[in-house]
Amino acid sequence: MQKYSEALRCEGGKIAFVPTMGYFHEGHIELMRQAKKMSDCVVVSIYVNPTQFGPKEDLSRYPRDFERDSKMAEEAGVDVIFFPPNTEMYPEGYQTYVNVEEVTKNLCGLSRPGHFRGVTTVCAKLFNIVKPHIAVFGKKDYQQYVAIKKMVTDLNMDLDIIGLPTVREADGLAMSSRNVYLKDNERLSGLSLIASLRLAQKLYDQGERSAAKIISEARQLIQNAPYTDIDYIKICDTGTMKDIEKIEKNALIALAVKVSQTRLIDNHVFGENI
Ligand code: AMP
C-alpha cells in the first residue's frame, strides 16, 4: 500500500482516503463519491479495529460482508480497497497508542473508555500506510471527526480532514452498519432519536437557549418510546466537546441511546438543516 501510494504521489496524483469498518450503506458510499470528486485516487480501508471496542461490546458480532462491500465500492468509483488482517495491524509486541486527551473526555468518551484511543491509533496507522492527501469522515460520528482533526493538527500530520454531513434513511434514521441489528419495532423506537433532534431545533428556533431545558424535552420524547435506554443527551461546544449551559454559538446536541441491545448515536448542530 505504501509503495502504491508513494508511486502515485511521485506522479502528482492526489489521494483521498475513506477509513471504514465495512458493511457499507449509503452513508459510506456518499463519502466515497465525494472523495472521488476531490482526488485522482480513492482508497477505502475496511478494518474492524479491535482496539476501539470495549470488552463487552459487539466486536465479534459486528456485521461483515467483504464481497458485497467490494462490489459497492467499485460502483462508487473506489480505486483501492485496503483490507488488512489483525496480525499486520497489531502484530505481537505492538505497544504504541495515540491519545487525544481533551476532546475525547465527554460524550462517547465517558461511556466507552479507551474507544477514542483505539480510533485515533488506528487512523494514525492507516494515514501512515495509505499516505493520503485528504481523509474523509462522516459527521454522524461528530466527536470522532473532532478528535481526528485535533490529532492531525497536534501531530503535524500532512493531510486535510474533511467532514461530511450525516446521510439518513427516508424516515430520518441515521444510517449505520448497526441498524441491521434492529427488529422492526425497535427500528420504530430508533426514530425517537431524530425526532428529539428535530424537537431540539424547533425549541431553539422558538428562542430557547437553555441547554438543560432542551435536553429535558428531548429526554422525555425518547423515554416515551419503548425499548429505549438513554446513555447520554448532551449539548456541547462543537470545538471543545465540553458541555455548555447556554447556547450562544457553535453548539451540538449529541445523543447515544440503547434500543434494546443496539446502541445508536446521532447529533445535530443548532441552526443547520435537519
Ligand atoms: P464506520 O464504518 O461506521 O466506522 O464508518 C466509516 C465512516 O463512515 C466514518 O467516517 C463515519 O462517520 C462515516 N459514516 C457512518 N455512517 C454515516 C452516515 N450515516 N452518514 C455519513 N457518514 C457516515
pLDDT of residue 49: 98
232: DSSP letter: E
Q: 119: closest CA among 91, 151, 94?
A: 151
CB distance 52 to ligand 1 below 6 Å: no
pLDDT of residue 143: 98
How far apart are the C-alpha atoms of 219 and 92, rounded to whole Å? 45
254: phi then psi, degrees, rounded to nearest 5? -125, 140
**Which atom of ligand 1 is found nearest the CA of 21?**
2
CB distance 118 to ligand 1 below 6 Å: no
Kindly give the parts of the chain with pLDDT less than 50.
none
CB distance 157 to ligand 1 below 6 Å: no
CA 111 to ligand 1 center in whole angstroms:
19
CA 168 to ligand 1 center in whole angstroms:
11
pLDDT of residue 164: 98
133 is catalytic: no
Return the SS3 of 138. strand
Task: Read off the pTM.
Answer: 0.98
How far apart are the C-alpha atoms of 176 and 179, rounded to whole Å? 5
Q: How many CA atoms lie within 13 A of 226 on its CB side?
A: 6
CA 208 to ligand 1 center in whole angstroms:
31
pLDDT of residue 64: 98
Catalytic residue chosen out of the listed positions 25, 28, 115, 268: 28
Cell of 67: 464481497
Q: 23: closest CA among 48, 60, 56?
A: 48
pLDDT of residue 146: 98
